[in-house]
Structure 1
Amino acid sequence: MNAIALGLGPLEAQFWHVAFLMTRVGAALVAAPIFGATGVPALVRVAAAGALAIFTALWLPVPDVTLSFTLAGFVAILGEVLIGLALGFVLQLAFAAPLVAAELIGGGMGLSMAQSASPDGQGQRSVFGNFLTIALTLIFFGTGGHLVWLRLVLESYSSFPPGAAWLGADRYLAIAQFGATTFGAGLAIALPITVILLLVQLATGILSRSAPALNLFALGLPLGVLAGIGGMIVAAPLMFADLGDLSRLALETAGGLIVR
């Protein structure tokens, strides 16, 4: 037989049906920046994917598709994984924008070497990268973005039933365009701070030319750090508004992927 059979009858059929549904949900959770962080135990992610798959099988009119050892079965699983990765990758791109902004701000302040442990277990990041990532995470959860994203993952079963989960070229183009948008958002977040730092560096250069006895390095670094921190405090409302718009745009892009 090509189908996986353990001899348990209808219970076995339901089990493999849920297991097949878990492929899309599990791929989405793994690709998402929050749910798929290394700090989240694998058992928790598997349990969450299983629970969502059970709810999907019970609540949504999903066709009864089971795993099989046929070529069509493997192709169907690949399609499920691709659409799940696409939905999670959109969030991954959104959460990359604060890191771009943090590198620009830290480099302008002369603190690009200041690293700290990432709270999501992703290794070492700049201190500003951790700050902006935590801010975006709080905004994303505070506005209910995680619930909207999970709803989009479940609604994708209606637009792309199991076994027919293949995205068109226009969907991949939308993901690429959103990636370009996220880099632009990172530049927009860092722009007010970099302008302030540029003015401070110009002022420091003028002082060093007018008074050569002044130590440029001893004067420029403290002024750059103070100006950068002060600029972040002043521009915090604008930065948080940009992060909120980025979170909303990520959800809109994810929703556009599952629209027929």
Structure 2
Amino acid sequence: MPASESIFQAGHYLQQMQVYWWPFCRILALFSMAPIFSHKALPKQVRILLALAVTLALATALPRMDSIDPLSAKGLLTALEQIAIGILLGVALQLVFTVFTLVGDVVSTQLGLSMAVFNDPINGVSSSSIMFQLYFVLLVFLFFAIDGHLLAVSVLYQSFIYWPVGSGLHYDGFETVIYALSWVLAAAVLITLPLVFCMVLVQFCFGLLNRVSPTLNLFSLGFPMSILVGLLCIYLTLPNLPDSYLHLSRELLNNIGQLLRGGARV
């Protein structure tokens, strides 16, 4: 009897561990793709510890899960399901940062600084353009200022309510993320449109001066003036960055809410 009781207790503990294992798979997958948490400057060990801490904090408040053997084929498919859902939500949360990645690349190209990425001293951490580094630092402060880390945890909790463990993958979610690429491109175009218009106007003026006075060295004069005008435009548009970030974040959260509720109706 003692041997059978110990086996029974071990099986009971394994069943209790499922309450933490399935959420841990989804949370770790989300942290691997979510903004700030997925940055290469954050070590993997810290990311795993954060996932464990969030799992311990949320596990007891999550809806009751069906008993699934984690060593069976269904358990393997359930683990893959949680990883896929976490990646889906992480990619969705990353879209606002993707918008400003495109903004930084477009601005760097207009200023003639698109090659400055190769002189980045922290290239091992980020391979984005140098102008995006400016936007990224500001976005990090805005992310924590609006409690973005708490919003990510809230999205995680809501995902377990609308997409409980074992409910299967919702293909409309993947379709929504694909369609969101058009939203990313449209938002990046709207943000960079004033600066691109100013830079095209400057280039047109210097091209006209070159036609009027061919002896004028366009490269020695036009290149530094383009950089100065571009930096002035960035200085004038930076005060609008918080409003743009808040507006895009609000739209993103609304889309994620519709995504989760749509998955619940399937």
Match of 2:132 in 1: 129
Q: Write out per-residue CA displacement over residues 139-193 of structure 1, whole angstroms, 9 at most, x where no aligned residue.
A: 2221122211211111211111111142132x22221222211111111221111
TM-score between the two structures when normalised by the length of structure 1: 0.89
| Deviation for aligned residue 1:31 | 1.3
- Indicate the larger mover: 143-152 or 208-217: 143-152
Tell me if the contact between 1:28 and 1:87 (Cα under 8 Å) persists in the aligned partners: yes
Q: In structure 2, what is the Cα distance between the partners aligned to 1:124 and 1:132?
A: 14
Quote how far apart the aligned CAs of 1:117 are.
4.5
For 1:225, the aligned partner's letter is I
Q: Distance in 2 between matches of 1:113 and 1:17?
A: 49
CA contact (8 A) 1:17 1:67 kept: no
Tell me how large the CA RMSD over aligned residues is: 2.1
Listed one character per residue, the Cα deviations across residues 176-235 of structure 1 (whole Å, up to 9, x for unaligned) are 222211111111221111111111111111111111111000011011000000011112
Task: Give the residue type in structure 2 aligned to 1:182.
Answer: V
Whether the 8 Å contact between 1:65 and 1:162 is mirrored in structure 2 is no
Alignment of 1:94-109 (within 5 A): 94-109=96-111
Alpha carbons of structure 1 residues 71 and 194: separation in structure 2 relative to 1, 3 Å: same
Give the structure 2 partner of residue 141 of structure 1. Answer: 144
SS in structure 1 at match of 2:169 = coil
- CA drift at 1:9: 4.6
Deviates more, 1:249-258 or 1:28-37: 249-258
| Residue 118 to residue 153, structure 1, CA distance change in 2 (3 Å) | farther
The amino acid of 2:220's aligned partner reads A
Match of 1:87 in 2: 89
Alignment partner, residue 154 of structure 1 = 157
Please, which runs of 5 or more residues in structure 2 have no aligned partner?
Answer: 1-6
In the alignment, is residue 26 of structure 1 matched against residue 31 of structure 2? Answer: no
Separation in structure 2 between the aligned mates of residue 237 and residue 67 of structure 1, nearest angstrom: 54
Q: In structure 2, what is the Cα distance between the partners aligned to 1:130 and 1:212?
A: 38
Distance 1:176 1:73 in 2: 28
Q: CA separation in 2, counterparts of 1:82 and 1:53?
A: 17
Amino acid in structure 1 at the alignment position of 2:243? A
Further displaced range: 8-17 or 52-61: 8-17
The SS at the match of 1:95 is helix
Equivalent residues in 2 for 1:241-260, closer than 5 Å: 241-259=243-261, 260=264
Distance 1:237 1:225, change over 3 A: same
Q: CA deviation at 1:6?
A: 10
Q: Residue 168 of structure 1 corresponds to which residue in structure 2?
A: 171
Counterpart CA distance in 2 for 1:97 and 1:162 is 31
What amino acid does structure 2 have at the position aligned with 1:233?
Y
Q: 2:236 aligns with which of 229, 234, 239?
A: 234
Match of 1:197 in 2: 199
Between the two proteins, what is the percent identity of the paired residues? 28
Counterpart for residue 37 of structure 2 = 35
Question: Any unmatched runs of 5+ in structure 1?
Answer: none
Query: Contact 2:40/2:126 (CA < 8 Å) preserved in 1?
Result: no
1:198-217 counterparts in 2 under 5 A? Answer: 198-217=200-219
Q: How far 1:44 moved relative to its partner?
A: 1.5
Per the TM alignment, residue 66 of structure 1 is displaced from its structure 2 partner at its CA by 4.8
CA distance in 1 between counterparts of 2:234 and 2:8 reads 60
C-alpha separation in 2, matches of 1:122 and 1:251: 28
What residue identity is the alignment partner of 1:140?
F
1:221 aligns with 2:223: yes
Mapped pair 1:11 → 2:8 = no
Q: Number of aligned pairs? A: 254
Structure 2: distance between partners of 1:141 and 1:64: 36
